[in-house]
Amino acid sequence: MTRLRQYAGLRPAAAAIVLVGLVAMAALSGCASVDFDRAVATTNQDAAGFTNGGLTLAQTDAQRAARAADGRRTAEPAPGTRRRRATRAG
């Protein structure tokens, strides 16, 4: 404890609080694991009317790039159609 106090400039009570906090944080971080695949599957099941079972999670750079390309493609008007001009009311 004296070494910790010597380097960090902490009183023994403060050093003990820091030590307890670090132990608690380490214990809680081990319990906070998430299974993303299962979470996405549950969301697809619970919100099937909204997602049509098509919700996916892009986990790699290649998947993100493919999704970005899909987004650009769907933002463009369909071939043979014209964009409507915005009209001002008034």
Model confidence over 36-77: pLDDT tens digits? Answer: 888 888 988 888 888 788 888 888 899 888 888 877 766 666
Residue 5 banded pLDDT, cuts 50, 70, 90: very low
Write down the pLDDT at residue 68: 84
| CB-based burial label for 76 (10 Å; 0-12, 13-18, 19+) | exposed
